[in-house]
Structure 1
Amino acid sequence: MIQTPIVWPNGARCACAITFDVDADSLIHISRPKDGFDRLYPISMGRYGPTVALPRILDTYRRLGLKQSFFVPGWVVEQYPEAMDLIQEDGHEIGHHGYLHEDPTNLSDAEHRYWFERALEAHKKTIGNTPKGYRAPVYNASQGVIDLLVDNDFLYDSSLMADDIPYRIHTAKGSLVELPVHWGTDDWPPFAHYSEIDYMMPVAGPSRGLEGFWEEFEAQYEHGGFWMAIWHPFLTGRLARWTLVERWLETILERGDIWFAPLHEIAEHVNNQFVRDNQSIRVEELPYYNQPVHLGAK
């Protein structure tokens, strides 16, 4: 049971967001820097996202009147500006997702700052977008990442996993809203089959692969919580899977008491409720640790 449920707008029982990480073919270039440019199958698999799946997803959102969030690496913003324009034209949010999907924990602070700022510049220069939210590639946020977000006046992060519902993270530098993720609502485990990055799980059929998402939703709906899917257009945007998503959306929207919103609106609502009544929003103090934890003799 959720101990301190958030009061959602307009009497909604549950807040929901479908977020897409539009990684495109950045994944093969970052994982195989020497020859990824000539690996045609993974390039084509990634390109399916912004060129084929994204228009399909946006058509569904337009028909159902939904505004949602997309997290896009800066390189993908530069490589696929027409796709980014389609997202923005329909009023959706585009968030920061690194530059070439680089893992922040594999970089020095100086290196990460460089790529973080380069991605920001790509957003601003290519599509005139100033992101309000961030999702770390592979969810690998570090304390340096959180400090960069505060330094750059980000509203929220969506990389951590410390609760079922939104909470706030406080550091010595400032505060952010955390909109928590979890592998249980990520499409990578059921649908990704990607030998180039050493991920070779069996691919689930559409119904079986999506079943867990619906079960997670029903639990959040029962307890008045927050459900968020973390999907990739080249995975869940494929035809059979998206057809099932579309039918599911049509069904649950008939309930009339679910608030679908882009993440920046959900984060703003959480902030407003924290100002009104800070006892209803849980706070996590960061950093968790200041040094490595070792086993040793007493």
Structure 2
Amino acid sequence: MSTESVSQRSFLGLEGQHVFITGAAGAIGSEAIREFLDHGCRVTAYDNSPVQLSGIDAERFSRLQILDGDITEECSIQSGFVKAEERFGPATILIVNSTDEETTRQQPIWDLPLEDWEKSYKLNVRGSFLAIKHFLRRVREYQQTLGSKLASPSIVVMETETHAGLAAGKAGLHYGLLQTVRNEILQLNTEGRINAVAPNKNINTSDPTAGPRAVAPMMAFLASKRASGHISGQCIQVEGQQPSGNTQVSKLDANRTQIQSIPRGLGKPKRNKIRVAVSIDLDAVSGWLGTNAHSDNGLADYSAGFFAAHVGVPRLLRMLKKLNIAHRCTWFIPGHSAESFPAEVKQVVDSGCEIGLHGYAHEGAYQLTPEQERDVLTRCMDIAHTLTGKKPVGYRAPLYQLRESTLDLLEEFGFEYDASLTDNDCHPFFAPRRPLSNQSISPSQLPAGCIPSRNPSLRPIDFLPHTANSQGYVDVRVIEHMWRDRFLWIRDNEEEPVFPVLMHPDTSGMAHIIGMLERMLRWLKEWECEGEVEFLQTGEVARWWREKQLGNATQ
């Protein structure tokens, strides 16, 4: 799709939303899939018939999952929502397209076979009921688990009048269930909405794809809180398409809404800007040589370091590029990793990220004399300069073990920031010094990450044989919910905070963990779409904060 068309559609604000579409194999379902993918959504296509799509590029295909299931069977639709969440997180938009297109044909009621009537009734009424029921159940369960409301859950029901049986089946939905859900959904979420779309039975019959092409944009419009957050409990009839491609909407009856044009979304009040700093420590084998050195370390331990470089790094890079934030990250790379795995480190540098120092063999400051510490720092500065052609300005101490001599060296060599300490969990600070250092040259301190008790928050789902609090078999959702809870509290209670996200390829690159990280980062990007989050390199955060502090000092 062209850049122009993307910009025309972007005002709906659907980017990053998870859309669950039933009846995905039909013409209407297929057009709905394309429509929501074009809006930047993640789409789960659900049907018991093969979903066949052509012309979907790799980027869009990465945001699509296809699930086989029967909407009329409760256990099937229930498990469908669970499977959908495992990859994309909770669905926020449900498209109920339960039309049986094989039986959608013009017939007078006296010629309508009973089996067609019963099939249509089962699919339309029972199927729609089950889809809506279990979508709302998942909303309720997710909100209870997370402790906060899901952002603007929306249901759009496809209604058809091209078949007597279907029309009769939908009558109960429109006049009963639609109005009931409109009121009951507010008990779960005050932003929840339900609406229906009905294509005109005379819509451009010379082109069988005209109806689906006209209906899909209206589905997206009704799903968008920004565009139609004031509309709920309504059924909107789509008349057709003009040569310009704009969808016409007309009044259907007293209970159906007339829209002359799609209104502009109302501007939202500005909220806190949360600066998200994603950083990755590429320890690889060096982690087993310095702070994690042990006489019992063996080849199996070092093998985890090779996994970090050969598997974890490429996986993380692919994931970060898919989310378009690879260039907004900072990688802290030990000198040993840079020299041992040049191909993988080159991939990191080529991503456009920031490169910071992280010791040579992951040695802690207290393992070195001050002279050794100076030698290690200068050697690592040379390695980083060779890699990037630039002088490094950021530092993170291996296992966060730095001391006063470390801070003196960072100041002497002109480093802009260090990201090792946790005096604050969401605001930068200057390291405590006695006597106080000149703050105009002293490195800023960025919170090291989501670190309870000075240990990485991924430690419970990692396993290090000689680390007491290393477990390895904790459900990744425990960590995910902890991060989300921290973000939501910071969002509501802190002014201009920083939200650091720290990863290690040996852990974060594992198959069962990287999916959770992608869900978490996608969730943060949803806040970015709302204007509340900005992804920045750690150095960019440090410079923003320093300028702010020095500016306040001169006032």
TM-score per shorter chain, which class? 0.7 to 0.9
Give the CA deviation at 1:191.
2.4
**Do structure 1's residue 269 and structure 2's residue 549 form an aligned pair?**
no
Does 2:535 align with 1:260?
A: yes
Q: Per the alignment, in what secondary structure is the counterpart of residue 277 of structure 1?
A: helix
CA shift digits 1:121-143 (9 cap, x unpaired): 22223553522100011111111
Alignment map for 1:74-93 (pairs within 5 Å): 74-93=335-354
Q: Specify the SS of the correspondent of 2:420.
A: coil
Q: Say if 1:91 and 1:63 are closer, same or farther in 2 by CA, change over 3 A.
A: same
Unpaired stretches in structure 1, ≥5 consecutive residues: 1-9, 281-298
**Structure of higher CA gyration radius:** 2
CA distance in 2, matches of 1:11, 1:47: 43
Deviation at 1:35, TM superposition (A): 7.8
Asked if 1:187 corresponds to 2:457, the answer is yes
CA gap 1:187/1:233 in 2 versus in 1, 3 angstroms: farther
Moved more, 102-111 or 206-215: 206-215
Tell me which amino acid in the other structure corresponds to 1:48: F
Instruction: Show CA shifts across 1:224-274 (max 9, x none).
Output: 421112221111221111111112222231222201111011111111112
- Which residue is 1:295 aligned to? none
Partner of 1:283: none
Note if contact 2:278-2:538 (Cα within 8 Å) is conserved in structure 1. Answer: no
Alpha-carbon separation, structure 1, partners of 2:365 and 2:459 = 21
Q: Does 2:434 align with 1:162?
A: no
For the residue of structure 1 that corresponds to 2:470, the secondary structure is coil
Contact 2:459-2:469 at 8 Å conserved across structures:
no
Amino acid at match of 2:538: L
1:2-41 to 2 correspondences below 5 Å: 13-30=273-290, 31-32=292-293, 39-41=298-300
Structure 2 residue 60 is the aligned partner of structure 1 residue 60: no
Following superposition, the deviation at residue 77 of structure 1 comes to 0.8
| One-letter amino acid of the structure 2 residue matched with residue 261 of structure 1 | L
Which digits, 9 at most, give the CA deviation of each residue in 1:53-85, with x for residues without a partner? 211211222222211011111111111111221
* Contact 2:286 2:362 (C-alpha < 8 Å) held by counterparts: yes
1:125-164 correspondence runs (5 A) = 125-164=386-425
Distance 1:147 1:265 in 2: 22
Give the share of equivalent positions with the same residue, in percent: 24
Which stretch shows the higher mean deviation, 131-140 or 49-58? 49-58
Point out where structure 2 has 5 or more consecutive residues left out of the alignment. Answer: 1-269
TM-fit CA distance, 1:16: 0.8
* Selected match of 1:177 from 434, 444, 447: 444
Partner AA of 2:463 in structure 1: H
**Post-superposition shift, 1:34?**
7.0
Q: Is the 8 A contact 1:81 1:127 kept in 2?
A: no
DSSP 3-state at the match of 1:254:
helix
Letter in 1 for 2:533: I
TM-score (norm 1): 0.82
Instruction: Return the structure number with greater relative CO, CA threshold 8 A, min gap 6.
Output: 1
Q: 1:278 maps to what in 2? A: 553
Aligned to 1:124, which of 368, 379, 385? Answer: 385
- Counterpart CA distance in 1 for 2:293 and 2:550 is 46
Show the 5 A alignment for 1:105-124: 105-124=366-385
Mapped to 2, the partners of 1:267 and 1:32 lie a distance apart of: 32
Residue in 1 that maps onto 2:483:
213
Q: TM-score, normalised by structure 2?
A: 0.45
What are the superposed Cα offsets for residues 18-46 of structure 1, whole Å, 9 maximum, x if unpaired?
Answer: 2111100112233448785xx22111211
Tell me the distance in 1 between the aligned counterparts of 2:281 and 2:404. 22
State which of 444, 447, 471 in structure 2 corresponds to 1:202.
471
Q: CA deviation at 1:199?
A: 3.8
Q: Distance in 1 between matches of 2:554 and 2:386?
A: 41
> What root-mean-square deviation, in Å, do the aligned CA atoms of Structure 1 and Structure 2 show?
2.4
**CA separation of 1:12/1:43 partners in 2, compared to 1, >3 Å: closer, same or farther?**
same
